[in-house]
Amino acid sequence: MAERFGQLSFVKRPIELLAAKKWMILLTFMGFLLGRATILEELSPFAAAFFAVIAFMRRDYMVQVGIAVMAGSLFAPYPNALMIPAELIIFLFHPPGA
C-alpha cells in the first residue's frame, strides 16, 4: 500500500513543490512574523532590517517577503500598518551611499 501511495502523481507533485519552495515559504513566514514584532510597545525595527537582508541576499524572494512583512504589520498590536510600508518604500527608492 505504501508503494502505491508514493506513485500517485496528485500526491507526489505537491510534495515536490513544497520541497522546491521550502526556503521561500520559510522566509515569507519569517517576514510575516517580523512584520508583527514590536519592542517597547511601539518600535518595529525588525521588519525593515529583514527586508533589507532579503533584498541584498535573495532578490528573487523580495516581492513575496515584502508582501508578507506588510501583511504582518496589519496584525501588529499598534498602528504599524503605515509605518512599515513607508520604511520599505524609503529603503527601495533611497540611493545607496547617500
pLDDT given at position 17: 76
Residue 98 or residue 89, greater confidence = 89
pLDDT given at position 39: 85
Residue 87 or residue 10, greater confidence = 87
Residue (of 56, 48, 55) closest to 80 by Cα position: 48
Whether residue 5 has pLDDT greater than 60: no
pTM of the model: 0.76
pLDDT given at position 13: 79
Residue (of 44, 50, 46) closest to 66 by Cα position: 50
In this predicted model, what pLDDT tens digit does every residue of 27-75 receive, in sequence order?
999 999 988 888 887 788 888 899 999 988 988 888 999 999 999 888 8
Mean pLDDT in residue range 8-34: 82
Listed in sequence order, the residues at least 6 apart from 64 whose beta carbon sits closer than 8 Å to its beta carbon are 24, 27, 28, 31
Contact 25, 18 (CB under 8 A): yes
